[in-house]
């Protein structure tokens, strides 16, 4: 009597499920694997989050969502602010987490603070200090960093602000904030001076509140 052969390895998903994942990626550019995983579960489709993430990387790239995102940024520039973090190592080998909020309207820093232990409660307090007396923007863009947790989006909504989360690994969607962090390599602004016979360049970050220094080769 023959035995059924046992399938070893990942369970293959059907072409229909793959196409559905691709469709969700194309139609919802801010969704990550956890959100798509949840949507598939509501449809009775049980696929692991890791598998979804793997197929998301293979999804065809549609220029439409990117154009719609850029149109949103342009059309609502007057009502958008963005927040982000950058880190600074200290001489005692500690790490400082620098938090800032920037306005899209004038590229103006609205708030800035530093902590060794960022938490959702600390971030919420910074938001309250940033937007007193009905001065809050209509939209607030920020990424999906775990520091924000579930509490920060809830607090943002309670302030009558619409939270806009960027897609995973898509810093270009928060380009105004990233540019002030010095991550936009296309338009660097550098100053240089001679130190010890070599050239040292200073690249401003956060509108000049912080700089990155490099020794030229």
- Three-state secondary structure of the chain: CCCCCCCCCCCCCCHHHHHHHHHHHHHCCCCCHHHHHHHHHHCCCCCCHHHHHHHHCCCCCCHHHHHHHHHHHHHCHHHEEEEEEEEEECCCCCEEEEEEEEECCCCCEEEEEEECCCCHHHHHHHHHHHCCCCCCCCEEEECCCHHHCCHHHHHHHHCCCEEEECCCCCHHHHHHHHHHCCCCCCCCCCEEEEECCEEEEEEEEHHHCEEEEEECC
pLDDT of residue 191: 46
Are 160 and 111 found together in one domain?
A: yes
147-159 pLDDT tens trace? 999 999 999 999 9
pLDDT of residue 184: 40
Are 97 and 55 found together in one domain?
A: no
Are 106 and 155 found together in one domain?
A: yes
pLDDT of residue 159: 93
Q: Which domain holds residue 74?
A: 68-180
Are 108 and 139 found together in one domain?
A: yes
Give a yes or no: residue 162 inside a domain: yes
Average pLDDT, the chain: 78
Are 127 and 106 found together in one domain?
A: yes
What pTM was computed for the model? Answer: 0.57
Domain boundary among 7, 29, 61: 61
Domain boundary among 61, 91, 117: 61
pLDDT of residue 73: 86
Q: Stretch 73-99: mean pLDDT, rounded?
A: 90
How many structural domains is the chain composed of? 2
């Amino acid at each position: 009597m023959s035995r059924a052969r046992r399938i070893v390895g990942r369970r293959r998903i059907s072409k229909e499920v793959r196409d559905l994942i691709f469709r969700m990626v194309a139609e919802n550019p801010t969704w990550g694997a956890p959100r798509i995983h949840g949507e598939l579960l509501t449809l009775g489709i049980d696929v692991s989050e890791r598998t979804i993430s793997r197929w998301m990387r293979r999804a065809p790239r549609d220029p439409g969502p990117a154009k719609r995102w850029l149109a949103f940024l342009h059309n609502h520039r007057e009502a958008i602010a963005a927040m982000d973090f950058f880190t600074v190592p200290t001489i005692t080998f500690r790490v400082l987490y620098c938090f800032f909020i920037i306005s899209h309207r004038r590229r103006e820093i609205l708030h800035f603070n530093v902590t060794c232990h960022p938490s959702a409660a600390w971030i919420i307090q910074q938001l309250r200090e940033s937007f007193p007396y009905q001065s809050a923007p209509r939209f607030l863009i920020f990424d999906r960093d775990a520091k924000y947790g579930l509490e920060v989006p809830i607090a943002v909504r309670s302030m009558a602000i619409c939270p806009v989360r960027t897609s995973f690994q898509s810093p270009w969607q928060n380009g105004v904030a990233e540019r002030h962090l010095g991550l936009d390599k296309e338009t660097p602004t550098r100053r240089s001076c001679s130190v010890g016979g070599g050239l040292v360049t200073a690249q401003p970050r956060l509108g000049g509140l912080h700089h990155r220094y490099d020794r030229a080769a």
